[in-house]
Amino acid sequence: MPTRPSPLTTPDGRYIVVRGRLWRTANPALSDEARAGLVADLMRARRAVATARRAGDDSAEAAAHAAVDQTKRALGERGPVWWSDGAPDLNRHMVRTTPYADWFHEIGGTGER
């Protein structure tokens, strides 16, 4: 099975770029062990969302979505930013409308990754 290329990451490591949109990365201060545990929790919660959706169980789906959100917050991908320099959170912004626009253009970013 072919491996996926690594996502494009902003020079400061705060975001990955997916189809031209910024998505906040996990907090790099997390230990490898903590990150691995949280990623396992996230995958379990995402599977629970799919299972509940297939079963038509709205309350189980809502609980699973809440578990996804809680885990993404623990990873630092949602909620308060994990950096402390006062830079704004640009999560979900189009890269071309952010301070990363010039960098993205310079590397030939197309928004297709």
Q: What is the pTM of this model?
A: 0.85
Share of the chain above pLDDT 90, in %: 88
* pLDDT tops 50 at residue 59: yes
Q: Mean of the pLDDT values across residues 60-79?
A: 98
Tell me the three state secondary structure of residue 4.
coil
The enclosing H or E element of 40 equals helix 32-55
What band does 8 get if pLDDT is binned at 50, 70 and 90? very high
In the predicted structure, residue 98 carries a pLDDT above the cut 90: yes
Beta strands in the chain (DSSP E): 8-9, 15-18, 21-24
Residue 23 pLDDT: 97
